[in-house]
Amino acid sequence: MMSLPDTDSEDELPPGWEERATDDGTVCYVNQQNKTSQWTHPRTGRSKRITGELPLGWEKYYDEQLKKFIFLNKETQQRSNVDPRLAFAVEEPTQNVAQVRQRFDSCSTALQVLHGKDLHGRIALITGANCGIGFETARSLSQHGCEIIFACRSRASAEAAIDRIAQERPSARARCRFVALDLSSLRAVQQFVQEIKQSVSHIDYLILNAGVFALPYTTTVDGLETTFQVSHLSHFYLTLQLETLFDYKTRIVVLSSESHRFANLPVDNLGVHHLSPPPEKYWSMMAYNNAKLCNVLFAQELAQRWKQRGISVFSVHPGNMVSTELSRNYWFYRWLFAIVRPFTKSLQQAAATSIYCATANELTGLSGLYFNNCFFCEPSKLSKSAALQQQLWQLSERLVSELLEHQSN
Distance CA 159, CA 362 (A): 34
Cross-strand partners of 261: none
What pairing do the DSSP bridges indicate for beta strands 205-208 and 123-127?
parallel
Do 120 and 148 meet the contact criterion of CB atoms below 8 Å apart?
Answer: no
Distance CA 39, CA 26 (A): 8
Distance CA 128, CA 135 (A): 8
Distance CA 118, CA 85 (A): 12
- 3-state helix vs strand vs coil in the chain, percent to 5: 40, 20, 40
**288 is an active site residue:** yes
H/E run at residue 76: none
Distance CA 207, CA 313 (A): 10
Distance CA 230, CA 236 (A): 10
Dihedral (C-alpha) 194, 196, 199, 202: value to the nearest 10 degrees? -120
3-state secondary structure (DSSP) of residue 57: coil
Residue-wise DSSP of 120-165: TT-EEEEETTTSHHHHHHHHHHHHTT-EEEEEES-HHHHHHHHHHH
Report, in angstroms and rounded to the nearest whole number, the Rg of the chain calculated over CA atoms.
24
Which DSSP state fits 101? -
Count H helices and E strands in the chain, helices first. Answer: 12, 16
Out of 29, 205, 288, 356, pick the active-site residue: 288
Angle at 229 between CA 393 and CA 293, to 5 degrees: 55
Helices (H), 249-351: 272-275, 284-305, 331-340, 347-350
Distance CA 128, CA 151 (A): 6
Distance CA 363, CA 376 (A): 10
First to last CA, the chain: 73
Active site residues: 288
